[in-house]
Amino acid sequence: MSKKQNTSSFLSGELIKTSLIGAVKKLSPRYMMKNPVMFVVEIGFLISVILVFFPHLFHDQGANLRIYNGIVAFILLITVLFANFAESVAEGRGKAQAESLKKTRKDTTARRLREDGEYESISASELKRGDIVLVNAGELIPSDGEIIEGIASIDESAITGESAPVLKESGGDFASVTGGTTVVSDWIKVSITAQPGHSFLDKMIALVECASRQKTPNEIALSTLLVSLTLIFLIVIVTLYPIAKYTNTTIAISTLIALTVCLIPTTIGGLLSAIGIAGMDRVTRFNVIAMSGKAVEACGDVDTMILDKTGTITYGNRLASAFIPVAGIAAEELIRYAVIASLQDDTPEGKSIVDLASQMGVHVDLEKLGPTNFVEFTAQTRMSGIDIEKGTQKIRKGAADAIINYVRSLGGRIPKDLQEHVNDVSKCGGTPLVVAADAVIYGVIYLKDTVKPGLVERFARLREIGIKTIMCTGDNPLTAATIAAEAGVDGYIAECKPEDKIEAIKKEQAEGKIVAMTGDGTNDAPALAQADVGLAMNSGTSAAKEAANMVDLDSDPTKILEVVEIGKQLLITRGSLTTFSIANDVAKYFAIIPAMFTIAIPQMNVLNIMHLSTPYSAVLSALIFNAVIIPCLIPLAMKGVHYRPMSASRMLGRNMMIYGLGGIICPFIAIKCIDILVAPLLVMLGF
C-alpha cells in the first residue's frame, strides 16, 4: 500500500468482471430492502415482468402492450443492475486492496518464550496476548506487540508502502510493532498485545473490505429524506390513475411504474452506498486506515483541529538560524569557535551549526587542530564542546546560565550585553546557546525550531472553510506565541500537559463543535479517544492506535489536514449528486406528464416543451436516461467532486449553479436525443 491514491487505475478488467457478478448477486430482495429507493425499482421490474406474461391482469392492459411492458421491465432491470454495479465497484476496489494485504499475513512460525526460559516453535496463529517471542533479522514479526528488549531496523513496507526501514527499540513511544512486518537487522523480544484474528493487519483487511462499514448519521438522514420523497411520489402516482380515468385517458400500468421510477430520486439512491464506500477507499489510498465510515464523515464536519507543535507544526529539531556576537567580538571569531565546538557533535543542532557556518563561508579542518577530546552534553553540565590538547584550549557551547557559571569558575568576565541577546532569542521563540573559549564569552547561537514549509498556506485554507486550529506545546507562553504567529494557527496552549489536551477538546465539544487531533504516545490516548476524529501514528503505541478511530500508516501528523479535506469532499460529493438527482426529476416530470395527458387534454401539449414524439417514446426516453445516468456518474461518485476551500454559503451557491442547473439542463438535452432515436423504432413496432 503505497501512496497511490492518484496513480491507481479507476477500473480494471478483473474489477469490472467481479463487479458485474456482484451486481447480479445483489438483486436478492433481502439485500435490496436495505436500499428502499432501488427496492421500489426492483418491485416495479417484477410487476412489469408479470404484465408481460399476463397482459389481461388489469382490464386496461392489451396484448399489444406486451412488447412495451417487456421494454420497460428490461430498462428497470438495467437500472437496478447499474446501481448495484456502482456499489460493487466501490466494494471491489477495497477488496482488491484487502487481497494485497492478505499476502503479507502469512502463517509464520514464532519462537515463544516458555516459563523455563527456553524457546519453543509454534504457529503464529496460536499466539495469545502476553506471550513473549524472539524475532531475529530476516524474520517476520508474527503479531502485533511491544518491544520489551532489543533494538532493530524494521521493514514496514508491507503495511505502509515505505521502503525505508524504521528503527524500533524498547521503551518510549516507538516500541510498537505490527504483525507482518520484517526485522531487517539485529533482534528484538516482543510482548504480544493482540489476540489471534484481532491484529492490526486483520482489522485493516476487514476495514478495506468494508465488512464492518456502518451507515453514517448524515447518510442515514439522507436515506430518510430519499425514502420520504419516494413515498410522496408513490402517493402522487397512485392518485394519477383515477385522474386519468376521469379524463378518459388510458395509462398503462407499466407507464405508471416508469413514471414512479423516473420521479423518485433513483440517481442518488443508486449511488449513495458507492459514495460512502468510496470515501473510505480514498482515505485508505492515502495510507490512512479509517476504523469506520463515521470517522471519515466526521472529518468533513470538523470545526476545530488540535495539533501538537513538535513533529506536526515544526520539525522538532532546533536548528541554527543565526550567530550573534557580543560587543567587541568579531562575528568570524564567534562562528569559528561555534564550529570547533560542534565538529564532533552528531546531534541535529551540532550539524546545523556547521552547515550554517559553511553557508557563511567559514570552514574549520578538525585535523589541523591537533589532538582533541570531545566533551559530550550531559543533563548535569548542560553544555558540550571540545578540548584542544596542544594548546590546552577549552571551547564550550551550552545553556546561558551553565556557560556563565563555567566562565566565572575560570575567573572570566561576563559581557554586559550577553543577557540582552539571550532574552532577545528567547522572545523570538528560539533557544540561545552561548559560546565560550576558555574564560571568554564570544556570543550566542540562535537555535530555532523551524515551522514546516507550506503550513501557513494550509492553515489559511482551513480558516477559509471555518476550521479553527489550536497548537499544543510544552514550551513557555513566549515561545508558544512566537511559533503560533509564525505558523498561522488561530490559538495555542502553552506548557500543555496531557490533561490540558482533553480539557481543550471537551471545551470545544461543549460548544457543539466537532474536534480532530493527532497523537502517537500513550499519554495521547485519552485525548484521541475523546476527540471526534483521532488520528494515531502507526509508529506510535498500541494504546494510541486503539484509542483513535483513524491510523496513519505513514506516521505523518500533518496528514490530518488532508484527511479533513477528504471528509469535506465526501460530504460535498453526496450533496452535489443529491442536488443533481433532484434537479433531474424536474426535467423528467416535463418529459412524461404532458405526454401522458396530451391525447385526452390537448391543452397539456403546451407543457411538452421538448416536443417529444409520442407518449410511449417520452416514457421510454426518460426511463432510459434514468438508467444510463447512474453508470455515467460512477466515476464522479468514486473520485469525488473536486474540492475547493470556501465558505459554506459560497459552496452551496456553486453547487446549486453547477449541479442544480446542470441537473435540469442535462436531462432535457439527453431525453430529446434519446427520443429522436427511440421514436422510429416504436413506430416500427406499431406504437
Is there a domain that residue 6 lies in? no
Q: Is the pLDDT of residue 8 over 50?
A: no
Q: Which of 140, 232, 262 is nearest to 588 (CA)?
A: 262
Task: Give whichever of 151-165, 178-192, 635-649 has the largest mean pLDDT.
Answer: 178-192
pLDDT of 211 reads 41
Is 233 known as a binding-site position? no
Task: Give the Cα separation of 476 and 480 in Å (integer).
Answer: 6
Task: Give the Cα separation of 73 and 52 in Å (integer).
Answer: 9
* Residues 609, 610, 613, 614, Cα dihedral to 10°: -60
C-alpha separations of 362 from 284, 304, 438, 655 in Å:
48, 46, 21, 59
pLDDT of 334 reads 94
Q: Which of 461, 410, 460 is nearest to 436 (CA)?
A: 410
- CB of 271 within 8 A of CB of 83? yes
Weakest mean pLDDT among 90-99, 128-137, 260-269, 437-446: 90-99
Contacts of 216 (CB under 8 A, 6+ apart): 276, 293, 294, 296, 297
Mean pLDDT of 410-434: 88
pLDDT > 90 fraction of the chain, expressed in percent and rounded? 15
Mean pLDDT of 192-216: 62
- 308, 475, 585, 675: the catalytic one is 308
Q: Is 585 a catalytic residue?
A: no
φ, ψ of residue 290 to 5 degrees: the values are -95, 130
Grid cell digits, residue 211: 465488512
Q: Is the pLDDT of residue 391 over 90?
A: no
For strands 550-552 and 383-388, give the pairing: unpaired
- E strand segments, 176-228: 176-177, 182-192
Same-domain check for residues 513 and 627: no
Q: Helix, strand or coil for residue 418?
A: helix
Range of the domain at 484: 295-313+452-553
Is 684 known as a binding-site position? no
Q: Is the pLDDT of residue 5 over 90?
A: no
Q: Is the pLDDT of residue 6 over 50?
A: no
Q: Helix, strand or coil for residue 2?
A: coil
Select from 553, 576, 591 the last residue of a domain: 553
Q: Is the pLDDT of residue 2 over 60?
A: no
Is there a domain that residue 17 lies in? yes
Is 116 known as a binding-site position? no
Same-domain check for residues 436 and 457: no
What pairs with residue 146 in β-bridges? Answer: 176, 191
Contacts of 99 (CB under 8 A, 6+ apart): none
Is there a domain that residue 115 lies in? no
φ, ψ of residue 44 to 5 degrees: the values are -60, -40
Is there a domain that residue 8 lies in? no
Q: Which of 571, 563, 637, 536 is nearest to 203 (CA)?
A: 536
pLDDT of 598 reads 67
pLDDT of 17 reads 80
Task: Give the Cα separation of 372 and 9 in Å (integer).
Answer: 60
Task: Give the Cα separation of 538 and 177 in Å (integer).
Answer: 9
Grid cell digits, residue 621: 426516453
Is there a domain that residue 614 lies in? yes
Is 345 known as a binding-site position? yes
Q: Which of 154, 161, 156, 157 is nearest to 1 (CA)?
A: 161
Q: How many CB atoms lie under 10 A from the CB of residue 260?
A: 21
- Whichever domain contains 374, its CATH number is 3.40.1110.10
Mean pLDDT of 371-376: 87
Is there a domain that residue 101 lies in? no
Name the amino acid, one letter, at 142. P
pLDDT of 200 reads 65
Mean pLDDT of 215-223: 69
Q: How many CB atoms lie under 10 A from the CB of residue 479?
A: 22
- E strand segments, 225-342: 288-290, 304-308, 314-325
Same-domain check for residues 426 and 326: yes
* Strands, sheet with 393-398, edge to edge from the N-terminal-most edge strand: 314-325, 440-451, 431-437, 393-398, 383-388, 372-375
**Owner of C-alpha cell 557533535:** 345
- E strand segments, 532-647: 533-537, 550-552
Q: How many CB atoms lie under 10 A from the CB of residue 227?
A: 18
Helices marked H in 393-524: 400-409, 418-427, 455-464, 477-487, 498-510
pTM attached to this predicted model: 0.62
pLDDT of 157 reads 66
Is 383 known as a binding-site position? yes
Is 402 known as a binding-site position? no
- CB of 615 within 8 A of CB of 302? no
pLDDT of 12-44, one tens digit each? 677 778 888 888 888 888 888 888 888 989 998
Same-domain check for residues 229 and 83: yes
Is there a domain that residue 19 lies in? yes
Name the strand (E) or helix (H) holding 471: strand 468-472
Select from 450, 475, 504 the last residue of a domain: 450
Q: What is the mean pLDDT of the chain?
A: 80
- Whichever domain contains 458, its CATH number is 3.40.50.1000
Same-domain check for residues 676 and 598: yes
Same-domain check for residues 636 and 519: no
Is there a domain that residue 288 lies in? no
Mean pLDDT of 75-85: 90
Task: Give the Cα separation of 645 and 124 in Å (integer).
Answer: 48
pLDDT of 216 reads 57
Task: Give the Cα separation of 461 and 5 in Å (integer).
Answer: 21
Same-domain check for residues 395 and 430: yes
- How many domains does the chain divide into? 4
Helices marked H in 598-643: 615-639
Select from 553, 584, 618 the last residue of a domain: 553
Is 524 known as a binding-site position? yes
Residue 194: Cβ-neighbour burial (10 angstroms; 0-12, 13-18, 19+): buried
Same-domain check for residues 594 and 520: no
Q: Which of 86, 80, 84 is nearest to 11 (CA)?
A: 86
Angle at 528 between CA 212 and CA 568, to 5 degrees: 65
pLDDT of 136-158, one tens digit each? 888 888 888 888 888 888 877 65
Q: What share of residues in the chain are helix, strand, coil (percent, to 5)?
A: 55, 20, 30
Is 424 known as a binding-site position? no
Task: Give whichever of 104-113, 401-410, 609-618 has the largest mean pLDDT.
Answer: 401-410
Task: Give the Cα separation of 210 and 273 in Å (integer).
Answer: 11
Check the CA dihedral 457-459-461-464 and report its sign.
negative
Same-domain check for residues 189 and 142: yes
- CB of 162 within 8 A of CB of 554? yes
Same-domain check for residues 309 and 191: no
Same-domain check for residues 593 and 681: yes
Q: Is the pLDDT of residue 323 over 50?
A: yes
Q: Is the pLDDT of residue 576 over 70?
A: yes
Is 284 known as a binding-site position? no
Same-domain check for residues 628 and 660: yes
pLDDT of 227 reads 84
Mean pLDDT of 569-586: 85
Weakest mean pLDDT among 297-301, 382-386, 579-583: 297-301
- CB of 592 within 8 A of CB of 619? yes
Task: Give the Cα separation of 76 and 100 in Å (integer).
Answer: 36
pLDDT of 4 reads 41
